Structure 1
Amino acid sequence: MADINFTLLLAKQFPNWFYWVVAGIQLLGVVVSFAISYLGFKAYRIIKEAKYKYFFYGFLLLGLSFLANVILNVSIRLGYAKYFVEKKYELFMLPMFGIYYVFLIGVMLAYVSLAAVYSEVKKSNKLWLFYFWTFIVGVYTFRDKLMFNMFSAILLSFIVMYTYDKYLEGKNKNRLLTCLAFFCMFLFHLFVLLETFMPIFFIIRNSILLIGLILLLTTLSKIYGRKKK
């Protein structure tokens, strides 16, 4: 969902349902990501905790990158992308690719923000250096699907470990759901390795990510509902 597999999307050896199932899952991911972003914004206004502000910005960027992805995927499937690539690529498709990749770099920076908040190192005056190098690495790796996903998985692994430790401390259901949500996001990026050998993992990865987003939305809804009262 957060990356485009052009080999699969442009290939014609798979039935049409394969591509439209992927597009449907991705579109659901857009809706859920925007819902998480909205609840993050509402929760931040009530609770004033930094992590909810990062939920707002992070999942807004995530949702926008997913939306650009869906548009590109559907364009490719309907044959429009091939026409633009052959005839008028610079005028029509290049801006969409550019916006998509800018959002992907934003997603990386959002992961850093969430990792900083959850690991409680956000007050460090050296944090800007981490952002700087993440941006540099993001610019370098965004054109390499494997490197982008592996770097994203590394960032998410810190969040998974921290949320799991928090769950062990309190055995709280919401903490468990949060940990599982980020673990699903971690698996989404990690399973890109299997997608190369088994194309069905293109659907599996996106489904796992959607499950993670729904878990996170459920948790955030409970927290927001409780704090609102």
Structure 2
Amino acid sequence: MKVSIFSTCLVDLMTPSAGKAMVEVLERLGCELDFPASQVCCGQPTYNSGYLEDSKLAMKNMMLAFEHSDYVVGPSGSCIAMFHEYPKIFKGDPDWELKAVALKEKSYEFTQFIVRVLGITDVGARLEGTATYHRSCHMTRLLGEKETPYLLLEQVRGLQLEPLKNSDNCCGFGGTFSVKMPDISSQMVDEKCESVVETGADILISADMGCLLNIGGRLSRKGVPVKIMHIAEVLNHTGETAAAKGGIPS
């Protein structure tokens, strides 16, 4: 199965280990991968800030970058959810609406693709430790995917998954929200950190790096020794402990 990788800005620029892990898992599952070099940002930051016309330039570039891809897979429910907004944004545009629909229909978040398209819930991962999972707002509410990360994590041998209180609550990142509303954002991430600590977990997992960097940064400043890991890094473990391989230190 041919799959094009959509790296996303945060993974590409700040946490490439998550992208590498995603690639290695997909290759292990038999996918033939490529990486369209012309891809850039999906346009979400500027779009959410109200700069619609400026955002369309990046969106058009992305539609062209993945025009000939069979499937597009990314390590972020948030960024894939942005692709799913394209048909609404370009509705009625004779040149771009069909391209927007085509991109939406073949784009999947990493865990969503493994479960919904490949039909796999056990990727052969093994990771000793106690973890909790943070559900990102965009993946849950906009992309509408609530199940696939849990289905995959339940099959990771050696991993004890503890439920996170108020798991539906936002961590306070929200992209530009954390910049525009820092006081409110700080209170939200503090609440999220308290919930993480209450689980007793030594690993915090999520499918969106924005959330992980926000929560992980706050935990680090509080001196809480919780490791943050993108779910791709967890699924790429095949026997080592979290401390021995991968993982982004908090």
| Interval containing the TM-score (normalised by the shorter chain) | 0.3 to 0.5
Q: Which has the higher strand share?
A: 2
Q: Which has the higher helix share?
A: 1
Q: Which has the higher contact order (CA 8 A, sep 6+)?
A: 1
Question: Structure 1-normalised TM-score?
Answer: 0.37
